Structure 1
Amino acid sequence: MTAEQYGVAFPGQGVKAHTLLLALCAHVRHPLVARLLKTFSAAHPEALDLGDTAIVQPATFAAGIAAADAAFGPDHRPPVALGHSLGELTAAAYVGFLGADEGFELAVDRGRLCHDQGLRRPGAMVAIVGADAGELEWLRRGVIAEHGEILDVAGLNSARQTVLSGTPEAVAAAVRIAEEQCLRAEVLPIPGGFHSSLMMDAVPAWRRRLESTDFRPGATRFVSAIDARPHTDPGQVREQLARGLVLPVRWQEAVHTVRDLGVPGLVDAGPGTTLLKLGRRARTLEFTGLGALPEPVPPG
């Protein structure tokens, strides 16, 4: 399989700060990274607060686009693109539903909205590994019944990994119960209850911001991880981005959709290797990283 046959996948903001910093440093000369530094008055990537959602979201967007441009060239368009959470915005911009600069500005606004909403309605997120759907729902409903807090399914990453999102009290209870049941629970380095009903208050402002941006037909297919369907209509792409603040990421289903479209493999554009690891565990289709792409076939 040649590099041109791979679809491209972009991660969300759950990347470790050090990993994100390395990606920004590697692509510090890219226009989007330069714009990131200017936006936050930073002389170099090390000066950025990569624990702040308001900065992490546009930084993750810029790093993803920069890495894909470096690997494929700025004019490359893959057979399909998709993204996890914030990565949906990166994917939509990468394949031309909006410009990269417009996407970056949206990432800045999304980061600020999420940061402010996290202050108004604090939340947390946890990945539960080892529970099937029935076990996970039993755990979730038990927490809600006992504590009366919000705890929603935020991410369906694989058959054995589900992300829950809700109030800090609910997430702490979920961790305790999961460990009692010998399940692995990993609290994510994300300061907010994203993809849960805690985010609903931020949707109107986010929708207005999306509607003020010119979305246009993309150069290739876009698969949303919110409804796990391919989209070519710009309005539908915009709507998935709006709903994505609250609805869960159906990652496993989205990857199955890519496979059903006949795309033989996906490359994790990063930053980080979160999607690569998920893909290799699920084995739905071939996953690789940018550094392991096959050499392009010379013309002629």
Structure 2
Amino acid sequence: MTKTAWVFPGQGSQVIGMGADLAAVPLAMTHLQEAEDILGWSVLAVSQSEENKLANTLYTQPCLYVIECILMDLLKQQGWQPDLVAGHSLGEYVALYGADVFEFGTGLQLVKRRAELMSQASDGMMAALMGFDRDELIASLEQTADAVLANDNNPGQVVISGTPAAVESVMTKVKAKRAVPLKVSGAFHSPLMADAAAEFESALEPVAFAAATVPVLSNVEPTPSQDAEGLKQRLRQQMTEPVRWREISLQLPQLGIERVIEVGPGNVLTGLIKRTCKSLTLLNVGTLAQVQGLVK
């Protein structure tokens, strides 16, 4: 059997119209109703809205979590099972649900609170850099207070995070093919999120985690783990520490993974992995048709 990892994208992968094809699927209808009871609003209504509410962190994160969980459960319903799971930032919550660490509704409650806190952050900035010298970037970050590497996505693409002045300073010092400020409310995955992380702890602390049924590669520690308390501790650190996606990608072939299925809208993660590990077979499942068309 081909050893397969399932990976789940985070904020930035959302697209207007995602999930519309799931509306009449019984399993999806159950999850969507539970989500509406928890959130107080309809995931599908927001995902189809022309007002672009979906771009607001408050809505983006719950919508992605719900739709990715539905797609994953539909895969399982068809007899598919992953050998390993990982998620990028918000996607780590879907990975933990997929590994049976907590129930769907439990995960959504955590994501709802996370989205509320992150949407309220307003004292920071993030920027994506592409085509740069890594040593030059690391040296510049070490010399600049209040700027950190937030997303280490692949050898040629990263996101930095920090105060606006610090991020802009790094952008002017480091030569890059492209440097693009991101439309986000705060300095995610940086020490500037410490207050939000402390508030989030009150929601996370009472939640009981179960041992994972398959290994999970976490953002802050890209080594496989199934330990309940260890996975919870890694999630505690996630809001203030970097997403080490490049290292997660490099781990996949080392762990015997031959195929990666990105479960969620778009192809952000398979695009990143392709540039890091060229030997892997990469597939995308973001629609009902793609779920039904997947061949073992």
**Equivalent residues in 2 for 1:110-189 (5 A)?**
110-116=114-120, 118-119=121-122, 122-141=123-142, 144=144, 150-178=146-174, 181-189=175-183
* Residue in structure 1 matched with residue 12 of structure 2 by the alignment: 14
Q: CA deviation at 1:273?
A: 1.2
Using a 3 Å threshold, how does the CA distance of structure 1 residues 175 and 260 change in structure 2: closer, same or farther? same
Q: Deviations over 1:74-102 (max 9, x none)?
A: 77431000011111111001110111111
Distance in 1, Cα, partners of 2:167 & 2:251:
30
Query: What RMSD in Å do the two structures reach over aligned CA positions?
Result: 2.4
The one-letter code matched in structure 1 to 2:68 is: G
Distance in 1, Cα, partners of 2:89 & 2:77:
24
8 Å contact 1:151–1:167 — kept in the other structure?
A: yes
* Residue in structure 2 matched with residue 245 of structure 1 by the alignment: 239
In the alignment, does 2:212 pair up with 1:208?
Answer: no
The one-letter code matched in structure 2 to 1:9 is: V
* Residue in structure 2 matched with residue 88 of structure 1 by the alignment: 92
Question: Which SS does the other structure have where 2:275 is aligned?
Answer: helix
Distance in 1, Cα, partners of 2:69 & 2:78:
9
Distance in 2, Cα, partners of 1:33 & 1:188:
30
8 Å contact 1:37–1:44 — kept in the other structure?
A: no
Question: Which SS does the other structure have where 1:262 is aligned?
Answer: coil
In the alignment, does 2:105 pair up with 1:106?
Answer: no
Structure 2: state its 5+ residue gaps: none
Q: Deviations over 1:103-127 (max 9, x none)?
A: 11111011112122x13xx222111
Q: CA deviation at 1:294?
A: 4.7
8 Å contact 1:77–1:219 — kept in the other structure?
A: no
Moved more, 181-190 or 252-261: 181-190
Q: CA deviation at 1:264?
A: 1.1
Question: Which SS does the other structure have where 1:50 is aligned?
Answer: helix
Q: Deviations over 1:14-33 (max 9, x none)?
A: 224xx1x3223233352333
Query: What is the aligned counterpart of 2:283 among 270, 279, 288?
Result: 288
The one-letter code matched in structure 2 to 1:97 is: V
Using a 3 Å threshold, how does the CA distance of structure 1 residues 262 and 176 change in structure 2: closer, same or farther? same
Q: Deviations over 1:257-293 (max 9, x none)?
A: 2222212121111222110111122225332212397
Using a 3 Å threshold, how does the CA distance of structure 1 residues 49 and 260 change in structure 2: closer, same or farther? same
Distance in 2, Cα, partners of 1:170 & 1:66:
40
Using a 3 Å threshold, how does the CA distance of structure 1 residues 234 and 182 change in structure 2: closer, same or farther? closer
Under a length normalisation based on structure 2, what TM-score does the superposition of the two structures give?
0.86
The one-letter code matched in structure 2 to 1:137 is: I
Query: What is the aligned counterpart of 1:77 among 78, 81, 105?
Result: 81
The percentage of aligned residue pairs carrying the same residue is 26
Following superposition, which runs of at least 4 residues in structure 1 exceed 6 angstroms of deviation? none
Structure 1: state its 5+ residue gaps: none
* Residue in structure 1 matched with residue 217 of structure 2 by the alignment: 223
